Amino acid sequence: MFKAIRLALLSCLVVLPLFSTASADGPKIGYVNLERVFREAPAAIKASKKMQDEFETRRQEILRVEEDFKARQAALAEKRASLTDSQLRTKETELTELSVALQRRQQLFQEDLKIRQNEETSAFLEKANKAVVEIAKAERWDMILQEAVSVANSIDITDKVIRKMTGD
């Protein structure tokens, strides 16, 4: 989830010019660490827990099918010598079909999980950006950066964004 966020942030390097006039001291520039917001904001933690709960049943079912497959493989290995060629082919075919079905389930699970993660990330990013804009307007920041190599604590508004999102 954080890699997708990081990629989104790096790809757009969101700069929020508010087109206000700069003071005599120069433009007022702030910084927000969205990765930290994603890690620490209660809404992000709640969304992550909700997704885990939402997908836990399916994950457990896949694990159960995987264990069943392994047990059948082990049983076939033990009984291999006592089975006829016909019985052996039947058992191997069953295992192959089970393996394909298991792989399909795992792939669908991963795809569905990724889709939900992207949905949650997009919704959270929208809320975070809204909070950043509101703070920037209220405090008259000229620009808020979301990526920087080095940042002074005096311009870091990450804590304010987390508090704003907690209050909303």
pLDDT of residue 26: 81
pTM over 0.75: no
pLDDT of residue 16: 36
Does residue 127 or residue 26 have the better pLDDT?
127
pLDDT of residue 3: 55
Question: Based on C-alpha coordinates, what's the Rg of the chain?
Answer: 26
Percent of the chain at pLDDT > 90 equals 71
Return the H-helix or E-strand segment holding 64. helix 42-79
Buried b / exposed e over 10-26, threshold 16 CB at 10 Å, is eeeebebeeeeeeeeee
- Name residues whose C-beta falls within 8 Å of residue 148's C-beta, 6 or more positions apart in sequence: 31
Mean pLDDT value across residues 65-86: 92
Does residue 158 or residue 10 have the better pLDDT?
158
Mean pLDDT value across residues 137-143: 94
pLDDT band at 168 (very low <50, low <70, confident <90, very high): low
pLDDT of 4 over the 60 cut:
no
pLDDT band at 104 (very low <50, low <70, confident <90, very high): very high
Domain at 2-167, CATH class: alpha beta
Q: Are the C-beta atoms of 18 and 138 separated by less than 8 Å?
A: no
